Structure 1
Amino acid sequence: MHVVTRGVIFVDLALAQVAALGAAVGIVMGLEHDGNASYMMALAFTFVGAAFFAYIRSSNQKVPQEAIIGITYVVCAAAMILLFSKSAEGSEHLNHLLVGSILFVTPKKIAYTALLYVAIGFFHFKYKKQFFRISESHLNMTALNSSDRFWDFLFYVTFGFVVTSSVKIAGVLLV
């Protein structure tokens, strides 16, 4: 609901692609594909993406935020393809990041992901007033103070946690 209210319909795709780019950078650096370090790299990239999307949100922009989100998606997808283009296993890694391995998810991974979703759901429920206020004021961003911008950033970060965990399971295309 917040995504539709804010008018950032494709932010999930863009954050998923940013997370996949982070995982790709980790793989190229030699991190294990399904390891925690690769996940942390994807999460770090997602946090940068969340900060970027929170920063560019303004009512005085000449380019709509949704257009910038689309450009971010395309640039990250192209960068990921370029990273893997010179690798012997690049096409396999690219395929795994795009379509995931949903059929081979372990019960431990399902439990971890479910707990993460519940924790984020609880966080959003606990602070629903702040999230609704910043979502409903998407047309009047000049009236928002730094605290409101922080809540905007927290929205994208928590959304990024969900997206990054989902990309690891289902891939970018399914998320």
Structure 2
Amino acid sequence: MNGSAIDPAILLPAFAAGLLVLATHVPLGAEVLRKGIVFIDLAIAQIAALGVILAGLMEVDPHGWQVQAAAAVAALAGAALLVWTERRWPEVQEAQIGVVFVLAATAGILLLAKNPHGGEHLRDLLTGQILWVGYPQLVVPAIATLLVGAFLWRIAALPRSAFYLLFAIAVTVSVQLVGVYLVFATLIVPALGVRGYRAERRLPLAYAIGAAGYGSGLVLSAAVDLPSGALIVWCLAILAALAHAMAPKRGAERPVNAAR
């Protein structure tokens, strides 16, 4: 273990990036779980990553606005496609989301097949490079977080098409900060860990799991020199499992309206 590698100048911007992702993804993930469309996050994130790959093939600046635009257009197109498939064949929407994910993932593999650095680029898109995020890269995500956050207070009342649109905007930003795998873990794992608690306690506990998972994963990554994205995923999963294990047994906590 290398304690000298734990540099706050590196860890703090990365942790700030994690908090921005958590701000929108925790409530979005709870709604995804409630709606039963768990794989929408993987599908939209993979489509956004496909947009990044296409932008890279056009040799644009990897840190320029064109990459953000390509990811946004791809994610919004994917969201529009899923809205259309749900209206046309609602009974098999989850299966359709899975098919869209597989098609986007394999399209990325095909596009990068002849790129000498394709494997490395694909790995970065999947696992992310959060440990190397700097404060300047957080300006656009912070603005997007504020825009998405303005609608989260009534997320349950949004029509499915508006939810998909909101989801696409949030994922477009986060996939470039933390990668596809961590986007999925941030959305789903905290929501799974708190499902045994009363409704009013779930969101604060999910945020706590997320913040602790990102913080511990980043510190471990710096200390033992292992990929940060993968370690954060495991930290989130372990903390969520512990939270679920400590949840009140069924019937131990009375529902809010049980006293009536």
> Shorter-chain TM-score: what band?
0.7 to 0.9
Q: CA RMSD in A?
A: 1.9
Alpha-carbon distance, 1:63 to partner:
5.5
Question: Which among 100, 106, 116 is matched to residue 78 of structure 1?
Answer: 106
For 1:18, give the aligned amino acid. I
The equivalent residue for 1:171 is 179
Q: Distance in 2 between matches of 1:35 and 1:15?
A: 21
Q: Is 2:134 the partner of 1:106? A: yes
Question: Which among 132, 153, 170 is matched to residue 156 of structure 2?
Answer: 132
For 1:91, give the aligned amino acid. G
The equivalent residue for 2:62 is 33
Question: Which among 170, 188, 193 is matched to residue 162 of structure 1?
Answer: 170
Alpha-carbon distance, 1:40 to partner:
0.6
Q: Which runs of 4+ in 1 moved over 6 A?
A: none
Q: Distance in 1 between matches of 2:65 and 2:149?
A: 23
The equivalent residue for 1:140 is none
The equivalent residue for 2:232 is none
Structure 1 unaligned spans of 5+: 135-150
Alpha-carbon distance, 1:52 to partner:
0.9
Question: Which among 42, 50, 74 is matched to residue 21 of structure 1?
Answer: 50
For 1:171, give the aligned amino acid. G
Alpha-carbon distance, 1:111 to partner:
4.2
Task: State which drifts further: 41-50 or 89-98.
Answer: 89-98
Q: Distance in 2 between matches of 1:116 and 1:62?
A: 30
For 1:120, give the aligned amino acid. V
The equivalent residue for 1:4 is 33
Structure 2 unaligned spans of 5+: 1-29, 184-260
| Count of aligned pairs between the two proteins | 154
Give me the TM-score of the superposition, normalised by structure 1.
0.80
Q: Distance in 2 between matches of 1:100 and 1:32?
A: 18
Greater relative CO (CA pairs within 8 A, separation 6+): 1
The equivalent residue for 2:201 is none
Say which SS state the counterpart of residue 179 (structure 2) adopts.
helix
Q: Is 2:120 the partner of 1:96? A: no
Determine which structure has more spread, i.e. the larger CA radius of gyration: 2
Give me the TM-score of the superposition, normalised by structure 2.
0.55
Say which SS state the counterpart of residue 34 (structure 1) adopts.
coil
**Identity percentage over the alignment?**
35
Change (3 A) 1:62 1:112: closer
Spell out, residue by residue over 1:107-156, the C-alpha distance to the aligned partner (whole angstroms, 9 max, x if none): 1223432332122111333xx2xx5345xxxxxxxxxxxxxxxx432211
Alpha-carbon distance, 1:46 to partner:
0.5
Q: Distance in 1 between matches of 2:140 and 2:104?
A: 27
